[in-house]
Amino acid sequence: MPANGKDIAKTPYYITTPIYYVNDKPHIGHVYTTLACDVLARFMRLDGRRVKFLTGTDEHGQKVEQSARKNGLEPQAFTDRMSQNFRDLSAAWQFSNDDFIRTTESRHVKAAQAIWVRLKEAGYIYLDKYSGWYAVRDEAFYGEDELTRTEDGRMIAASGAECEWVEEPSYFFKLSAFEDTLLQFYDQNPDFIGPDGRRNEVISFVKGGLRDLSISRTTFKWGIPVPDDPDHIMYVWLDALTNYITAVGYPDENADEYQAFWPAELHMVGKDILRFHAVYWPAFLMAAGLAPPKRVFAHGWWTNEGQKISKSLGNVIDPYELIETYGLDQTRYFLLREVPFGNDGDFSHRAMVNRMNNDLANDFGNLGQRVLSMIYKNCGGQIPEPGELRPADEAMLAAADSALARMRSELALQAFHRALEAHHAVVAQANRYVDEQAPWALRKTDKARMATVLYVLAEVIRKLAILAQPFMPNGPAALLGQMNQSDAARDFAALGTRLVPGTEIAKPQGVFPRYVEDEETKGAS
C-alpha cells in the first residue's frame, strides 16, 4: 500500500464478497464476510479512494433446480425470492455495497459466455467425457483420494457432502497446463493469498498436480448455455466466478469501471472456497488473457459457545437476532475485534457482553459522554479555547494523530482486530489522561488549564469517532453530531484539521449503552 494518503487517494479500490448461493438462508458466515468487506469499503471511501463494493447471489446449478422443484416453483421464481433474502440482510446490517449482482441477470449471461468463447478460442477448452465423483451440495468434483467411503458404501467429501458417480459428455478446461504458471505467479506475488497459512495450503495443492477441470453439464438445464452447444450448460463455478468481471463491465474491457477497478484489489472468501478463487479463477483469467485479482483473503469460521454450528444441533446463529439482542454497532464491533481475522472464532454471549460493556460502554462511550458533559456544563456548551499545550497534551494529541496510519496499515493486511486494537489504545490513553489531568478538579483551581485539557480531549474524541465510522455506522456518527461536525467534516481529510474553539455542542447523550442482563439470562450464562 502506498505510504501516504495522497497517493492512496489516486488508487481505485474494488472489493468483493463471494456471491452467496441462494439455497442458503443468510447466516453468520455470510454476515462475517460481507461485514469485513463493508468496513474496508467504508474505510477506503473515507480515505478518499474511489470504491466499488460488490456482493450478490449465485443462482444456477443442480442444487437450485432441485430445490425449486421441491418448493413447487420455477427456478427463476425460486431464485427471485431467495436472492431477496440477501438484499434484506444487507439493509438490516447497513452494508454499503455499490452493486448487487445476480448470475441470472442478462449482463452476467453475456459476460460468462464471452469468457467461455475467449477460453475456447485460446485453445483451453476441449470436449470429452466426464467420469467421476461429483457433490451436488458443493457443486464440486472430487478425486477418489479426496473422499471417504462409509460402511454403507457412500462416498463423502471432507466438507461432509455426499458424492455421486457421474458419467456424461463434458467440456474440459486445461487446468493442468497452468500448474507451473500458477506456482510462478504465487512466487512473484507473495501477497496474493492471505493469510500465510492458507497460501501454503494452496501452493501444496497445486504442487500435488492439477487435473483438467470439467466445466459443463448435460444432466440438468438450470444454468448458462454453452455458446454454440445448448445441450451443455456452464459449470456453476466458471459461471459464478465470472461475476467479478461482469460487474465492472466485461466483456467491454474499455468500460470505465473495468479500466478503473480491474484487477480487483481484494476478493474476500471463506476458507472452504479458497481453492476456487486462488487456483481455478486465476487460471481462467490467465487463459483468457485477463489479469488476476491482486489478493484473495480466506477467513475462518465461527462456532457457537464452543460447538460447531449446524442445523441438526439447533445452534445456528440468526443474524437478525444478533443485532436485535445486542445492537448493530456492538455486534459489528465484536465480530471484528474478538478474533484475529483469518482464524476460526467462537461466539459466546459472555464474550459479546464483555466487549459491549468494557470496550464500548465503559471505555469509548463513557469517555465521550463525560468529557462532552463537562464541556457542556462548564464551558457554556462550546468547545473551549485551549491555552499553551504541555507535554502530556502534545503526547495525547500525537497518539490520536498517529492512529490513522496504524489502522490503514493493519487494514491493508485485513488485520481488523489489530486496527481496532490501535483505536482502543488511543481510547485507553485518553481515559488515563482524563484521570491524570482531573479537569473536574481544575474547574476549581485553574479554569484556563481545565479548558485546555477539555479541548485536547474533545479533539481526541472527534478523531476517534471519525476513525470508528467504518466499523460502527451509528454510534460514532451520533457522537460527531453532538459535536456539531458537518457531514463534510467526517472523512479522513478532516483528521488533518483541529476543532474550532467556540463550536457549539449539543447536550451529550450516551451512544453505547451497557448491556444489562435479565434474570433469565444471568441464570443461563
> Would the pLDDT of 10 be above 90?
no
Please give the grid coordinates belonging to residue 356: 459491549
Burial 467-476 (b: 16+ CB within 10 A, else e): bbbbbbbbbb
Q: Tell me the CA distances in angstroms from 339 to 336, 352, 356, one per residue in order.
A: 7, 12, 15
- Angle (nearest 5°) at CA 42 between 399 and 52: 140
**What letter does residue 364 receive in the DSSP assignment?**
I
Please give the grid coordinates belonging to residue 509: 447523550
**What's the whole-number mean pLDDT along residues 185-198?**
97
**What letter does residue 488 receive in the DSSP assignment?**
G
pLDDT band at 60; cut points 50, 70, 90: very high
> Would the pLDDT of 147 be above 50?
yes
Q: Which residues pair with 296 in a beta bridge?
A: 193, 267
> Would the pLDDT of 427 be above 90?
yes
DSSP state string for 287-325: HTT-PPPS-EEEE--EEETTEE--TTTT-PPPHHHHHHH
Q: Which residue has the cell 500465510?
A: 196
Which range has the worst mean pLDDT, 101-110, 190-199, 342-351? 342-351
For residue 1, the model assigns a pLDDT of: 39
Q: Quick count: other Cβ atoms within 10 Å of Cβ 16? A: 29
pLDDT band at 460; cut points 50, 70, 90: very high
SS3 percent helix, strand, coil of the chain, rounded to 5, is 50, 15, 30
For residue 137, the model assigns a pLDDT of: 85
Q: Do 52 and 92 contact (CB within 8 A), yes or no?
A: no
pLDDT digits (tens, 9 = 90+) for 80-135: 999 999 999 999 999 999 999 999 999 999 999 999 999 999 999 999 998 889 88
**What's the whole-number mean pLDDT along residues 423-429?**
98
**What's the whole-number mean pLDDT along residues 49-74?**
95
pLDDT digits (tens, 9 = 90+) for 478-512: 999 999 999 999 999 999 999 999 999 999 999 99
Range among 153-167, 307-321, 498-512 with highest mean pLDDT value? 498-512
Burial 146-162 (b: 16+ CB within 10 A, else e): ebeeeeeeebebeeebb
Question: What is the number of residues in the chain?
Answer: 525
Q: Tell me the CA distances in angstroms from 368 to 143, 444, 464, 511, one per residue in order.
A: 58, 22, 10, 9
pLDDT digits (tens, 9 = 90+) for 349-394: 999 999 999 999 999 999 999 999 999 999 999 999 999 999 999 9
Q: What is the set of domains in the chain, with CATH numbers?
A: 349-496 (1.10.730.10)
> Would the pLDDT of 525 be above 80?
no
H helices then E strands: how many in the chain?
A: 22, 19
Q: What is the average pLDDT score of the chain? A: 94
pLDDT digits (tens, 9 = 90+) for 281-309: 999 999 999 999 999 999 998 888 887 87
CA 459 centroid distance within chain: 30
For residue 448, the model assigns a pLDDT of: 97
> Would the pLDDT of 240 be above 80?
yes
Q: Give the whole-angstrom CA distance, residue 468 versus residue 360.
A: 11
pLDDT digits (tens, 9 = 90+) for 42-57: 999 999 999 999 999 9
Above pLDDT 70, what percent of the chain? 96
Q: Do 430 and 465 contact (CB within 8 A), yes or no?
A: no
Intra-chain end-to-end CA distance of the chain, in Å: 44
> Would the pLDDT of 12 be above 90?
yes
What sign has the CA pseudo-torsion 353, 355, 359, 364?
A: negative
pLDDT band at 523; cut points 50, 70, 90: very low
Q: Give the whole-angstrom CA distance, residue 162 versus residue 145.
A: 14
pTM (predicted TM-score): 0.93
- Residue type at position 320: Y
Q: Which residues pair with 14 in a beta bridge?
A: 52
Q: Do 130 and 166 contact (CB within 8 A), yes or no?
A: yes
Q: Do 423 and 468 contact (CB within 8 A), yes or no?
A: yes
> Would the pLDDT of 169 be above 50?
yes
Please give the grid coordinates belonging to residue 164: 455421486
CA 334 centroid distance within chain: 14
